Amino acid sequence: MRIGIVCPYSFDAPGGVQFHIRDLAEELGTRGHEVSVLAPAEEADALPEFVVPAGGSIAIPYNGSVARLSFGPSASSHVSRWLAEHEFDLLHIHEPLAPSLGLLALWQAKMPIVATFHSSQDRSRAMTLVAPAVQGLLEKIDARIAVSEAARRTVADHLGGDAVVVPNGVRISTFSTARSRAEWVGARGGGPPTVCFLGRLDEPRKGLPIFAGAVATVLERLPEARFLIAGRGEAAEQRELLSRHGESVTFLGEVTEADKSALFASADVYVAPQTGGESFGIVLVEAMGGGATVVASDIPAFRDVTNDGMAGRLFEVGNPESLARTLINVLAEGDSPDQADVRAWRARFDWATVASRILEVYRLVLASEEIEVPMHAVTRRSRFWRRGRA
């Protein structure tokens, strides 16, 4: 199968969506499919061989974060050339309504289209306003995928219709076979109780202030505990606040993928204190893969990923004291999820499973079959596709 994948966000500053697309392309390639990914990027030499760079991007505030997107005449030309140079059997567009390459590809494409929606928002004025204007383009999509129930609800609430939920994928073996690092090893490896945080330090919704606010309370009960904070960003205020705890708190800076795997294999607990705006939480599954206990804020996406707290522990959103109590329960009282249950649960997110489910959606679309799902998330090819191919 010849598959084109469109990424809306720059590969020069990768995030969760880019990693998902990269891993999906690699997995499809190992199964014998021909895959090309179009993405905003300037540093062509640093890209996987299957990624076609579509030039630079601009930073746009979006959903509590900053997204690097590509739009305009130059981006449109890149899309046109890419589509003309390949005879794709199917086009898979991620975040098709983001003002970037995906929207341009949706407008130009004349082949079957699958779209994956990643974002989760309770209320989006932008999506509400844009939905009527792009209704015709939405009808070109033959199958909708949402990466979580939270993302599916966003699609249903803002765009109408529904989507098939297929979660983000993780290479579980990368994390389950990672080796711990001596300087980070926690109580499960004979070291002190160790808690880690990984995220953009100066992005408020990632929750570093909440994490920082829990440290003092935990240290009162467990003075030997250690806190490792990884991620890019200055966060001067939090650094100053935490400096009074001396060697109990260590800022690791931005870490590599190998460092991340080692961190999750070493620490006892991974904390995800995000306040919202998360559609999935792939890093939670990565931490599960490494054997760390996940302690996460009780937002819908994290509730889904932890199976309502069965595969992790949840605390009240935005509440440092609730986080501190949960950490003490896990570290001092033994209130951790059963690891056998965690291993069984995390397997559903492994790429071996996820890619098979995505391929099944592809095959149903290409077979022009109508399947029974809520609101016909996957339907017969639209009249737009038939007209374009006729």
Statement to judge: residues 132 and 51 lie in one domain? yes
Residue 158 has pLDDT above 70, yes or no: yes
CATH assignment at residue 51: 3.40.50.2000
Strands 293-297 and 269-272 come out as: parallel
Residues 42, 144, single domain; the answer is: yes
Spatial separation of the C-alpha atoms in residues 77 and 140, rounded to whole Å: 20
Which residues are 59's β-sheet partners?
A: 68
pLDDT at position 43: 77
Q: Are residues 203 and 278 in the same domain?
A: yes
Q: Is the distance from CB of 227 to CB of 246 less than 8 angstroms?
A: no
> Are 21 and 161 in a shared domain?
yes
Structure tokens at 268: 């006892």
pLDDT tens sequence across 252-302: 999 999 999 999 999 999 999 999 878 788 899 999 999 999 999 999 889
Q: Helix 351-366 vs helix 16-30: angle between axes, to the nearest 10 degrees?
A: 80
Q: Return the SS3 of 85.
A: helix
- Shared domain for 155 and 15, answered yes or no, is yes
Mean per-residue pLDDT over the chain, rounded: 89
Is the separation of the CB atoms in 276 and 251 below 8 Å? Answer: no
Task: State CA 234 to chain mean position distance.
Answer: 23
Distance CA 230, CA 260 (A): 9
Same domain, 145 and 272: no
pLDDT digits over 184-236, tens only?
999 999 999 999 999 999 988 999 999 999 999 999 999 999 999 999 999 99
Which domain, by its residues, includes 250? 172-348
Same domain, 143 and 222: no
The residues, any chain, with a CB within 8 Å of residue 367's CB and separated by 6 or more, are: none
Same domain? 78 vs 104? yes
Q: How many domains, the chain?
A: 2
303/384 same-domain check: no
Closest CA to 299 of 283, 319, 321, 277: 277
